[in-house]
Amino acid sequence: RTAAFAKDLLDVATMPRPQIDALLRLATALKMKLRRGISHSLLEGKTLGLLFQKPSTRTRVSFEAGMNQLGGHAMVLPMADIQLSRGESVADTARVLSRYLDGIVIRTYDHGIVQEWAEEATMPVINGLTDLSHPCQALSDLMTIKEKKGRFKGVKLAYIGDGNNVANSLIEAAAKVGMHIALGCPVGYQPDQHVVDRARVEAARNGSDIEVGVDPQIAVKDADVLYTDVWISMGREREQARRLRTLAPYQLNGRLLQKAKPDAIVMHCLPAHRGEEITAEVLDGPQSVIIDQAENRLHMQKAILVQLLTQKKGRA
């Protein structure tokens, strides 16, 4: 191993392109090994912590199962059971847990919390979703798009609906690999401006476009990949009525699907709300790849674990 990457995985934007390429190769190799029943105990004796301040099905179970498949052990740390919930500081918790664990996945609200963990912990910290971003999702989505479309260059991804954490990470991921991305999100629900500005610089370097608009019809025109996510993200429950009203014209339905390329695939990070952001007809239809997409969370996150947990300590 020659490349030295950052200790933590907090956002796609800060990852060098070779790291992303290496992850895509490793994830594909690990997927093949699992399929063929070839053992790949690359993390024997290592322990991963999982700290979730929001619910999770895919992220939690795929990290836990993945760690077991790699010969290591994963430990869920229920928030209510650890002293952090009684006011112990992130700094003390991170420094102590770094003496026991080889890495930790954190799902929380404020992105600043994972940044604080990364600063204080000497072990790798992996962002398992914050209000700002969901890098593990976007990285595994790159894997799915590559599998289904065979390339990134010239591919157009259209993201419709709430410009949320998943949208932010998809923008960063698209910019890194030179894939076009067009967003159709209502005013007030657009992706993070700093994320977009930074990604535009990266996209220009890699020959792709980032279009942020308010019209879903324009965004999906000639798209190869259609993507949407829930309208009411975790922590936004109080805004439910307003969100349902504003986002209603942004439903991914049969009519919108017709404006994309005939061989377009439909993606959704799940969990989904049929009848809200997407119709059952589209989500469960022949163009949907949602279950393959969810499967790839496992393979990509195993690659992330192998990459970060086998890096030498003491790097930036």
* Interacting residues toward ligand CP by CB under 6 A: 56-59, 129, 137, 269-270
Question: Quick one: what does residue 277 bind among ligand CP, ligand NVA, none, with the CB cut-off 5 to 8 Å set by partner type?
Answer: none
What is the rounded CA–CA span in Å between residue 179 and residue 3?
A: 24
Start-to-end CA span in the chain (Å)? 16
Is residue 269 a contact residue for ligand NVA (CB under 6 A)? yes
Long-range contacts of 65-68 (CB under 8 A, 24+ apart): 65/298, 66/298, 66/299, 66/301, 66/302, 66/305, 67/43, 67/305
Rounded to an integer, what distance in angstroms lies between the CA atom of residue 46 and that of residue 305? 10
Please tell me what DSSP assigns to residue 162: -
234 binds ligand NVA (CB under 6 A): yes
Answer yes or no whether residue 62 interacts with ligand NVA by CB under 6 A: no
What pairs with residue 252 in β-bridges?
A: 278
Q: Which CB sits closer to ligand CP, 77 or 203?
A: 77
Among 230, 264, 283, 303, binds ligand NVA (CB under 6 A): 230
Using the rule CB under 6 A, is 165 a contact of ligand NVA? Answer: yes
User: Among residues 91 and 244, whose Cβ is nearest to ligand NVA?
Assistant: 244
What does 229 interact with, of ligand NVA, ligand CP, none (CB < 5 to 8 A by kind)? ligand NVA
107 is catalytic: yes
CB atoms under 10 Å from CB of 83, counted, come to: 11
Taking the least distance from each CB to ligand CP, the nearer of 58 and 176 is 58
Catalytic residue among 111, 134, 243, 299: 134
**197 included as an active-site residue:** no
What distance in Å separates the CA atoms of residue 114 and residue 130, rounded to the nearest whole number?
8
- 297 among known catalytic residues: yes
Q: How far apart are CA 165 and CA 171, in angstroms?
A: 10
Q: How remote is the C-alpha of 108 from its chain's centroid?
A: 14
Is there a catalytic annotation at residue 137?
A: yes
Active site residue 102: no
- Encoding tokens for residue 227? 């993507």
Catalytic one of 297, 299, 301, 307: 297
- 288 interface partner picked from ligand CP, ligand NVA, none, CB below 5 to 8 A per type: none
- Contacts to ligand NVA by CB under 6 A: 129, 164-166, 229-230, 233-234, 269
